[in-house]
Amino acid sequence: MGFAKVNDLNLHYELRGAGPQVLFIHGIGADLKNPISIFNTPLPRHFTVLAFDPRGLGESDGTAEPFTIADMADDAAGLAAALGWERYHVLGASMGGMVAQELALRHPAAVDKLVLGVTNAGEKNGAPVVIDKLEQMSTLEKLRLSDTRQDEDWAAANPEAVAKFEQQSIAASAAMQADPALIRGFGNQVNAVLKHDTFDRLPQIKAATLVFGGRYDGSNPPEVPRAIAGLIPNARLELVEHGHSGWYFDPKVWDMIIDFLCD
C-alpha cells in the first residue's frame, strides 16, 4: 500500500499481482477496507491490479466541496500516471463503471481495454434514479432493487437471508452516522452519481469495451447495459444470470472478464 499526490489530494492505493496492468474502480461507498476486495478475486493471478480509496473515503483525502464523476475519473487517471502507468485496462462496476466511462472519454490514450459492469450512463439511459432514496426504502424494496427475483415469495421462503440483510443495513447505517467524514464523502458520491451523464458521448469511446449486466438487476435492468453497448463502437454485450452484485462471486463472470482482457 502507498500514497500518491494527485490533484492536490493524497490518494491511498494498493498494487498486487503481476502481468498487464488493470486499474480497478470501486462502486459507491467502497474502499480498500471493504472485505469484498478486488484482491480476493482471480484478477491478480493474471494482471497487475491497482485499486485505491476514492477521495473522501478510506485513507484518501476528502474535500469539503462537492465533486463530480469526472473529477473522480481524473483522480484515477492521475494516480495511474503518478505510478508510471501509460496505457492500461480499466474495470469499473456500478458507480465505478460511471467513473470508468468518464476516464475513457477524458483520457482515451491511457485506456487499452474497458470493462463496464452493472452500470449506467445517466438518466437518459433509463435506469431508476434511486441512489438518494435508499434510506426511505423498505427492506423488500432494496432487496428487489438488488435482484428482481427477491420478491415477496422469495422473502417469505428465505426469512434468515432477509434478517441478515436487515442487520447488515442497520450496521452500515450506524457506521455511517458515527463518522462525519464518511457521511460527507458518501454524500458527495451520491450527488456525483445523480449528475452523471455520458449517454450522448458514449460513441466517442475508442477503447475495446466489454459491457455486462445482470438479467435480474433492478437498479440497472438489462435494457440499460444493452443501450450502452449499442452506443459504444464495437462494444461486446454480455448479460449474466445475476442481479446487481451476485456476479462478483461467480468464477464464470471473472473468466469472461479475464478472457476479454487477455484476448
CATH code of residue 52: 3.40.50.1820
Name the pLDDT band for 35 (thresholds 50, 70, 90). confident
> 177-202 pLDDT, tens per residue?
888 888 999 999 999 999 999 999 99
Q: State the residue range of the domain holding 39.
A: 2-128+182-262
Does the residue 55 lie in any domain?
yes
Residue 155, pLDDT above cutoff 90: yes
Does the residue 143 lie in any domain?
no
Name the pLDDT band for 34 (thresholds 50, 70, 90). confident
> 38-74 pLDDT, tens per residue?
999 999 999 999 999 999 999 999 988 999 999 999 9
> 234-256 pLDDT, tens per residue?
999 999 999 999 999 999 999 99
Write down the pTM of the prediction. 0.96
Q: What string of H, E and C letters represents the secondary structure of the chain?
A: CEEEEECCEEEEEEEEECCCEEEEECCCCCCCCCCCCHHHCCHHHCCEEEEECCCCCCCCCCCCCCCCHHHHHHHHHHHHHHCCCCCEEEEEECHHHHHHHHHHHHCHHHEEEEEEECCCCEHHHCCCCCCCCHHHCCHHHHHHHHCCCCCHHHHHHCHHHHHHHHHHHHHHHHHHHCCHHHHHHHHHHHHHHHHCECHHHHHHCCCEEEEEEECCCCCCCCHHHHHHHHHCCCCEEEEECCCCCHHHHCHHHHHHHHHHHHC
Counting the structural domains of the chain, the total is 1
Does the residue 174 lie in any domain?
no
Does the residue 153 lie in any domain?
no
> 70-123 pLDDT, tens per residue?
999 999 999 999 999 999 999 999 999 999 999 999 999 999 999 999 999 999
19 HSE (CA, 13 A, CB side): 13
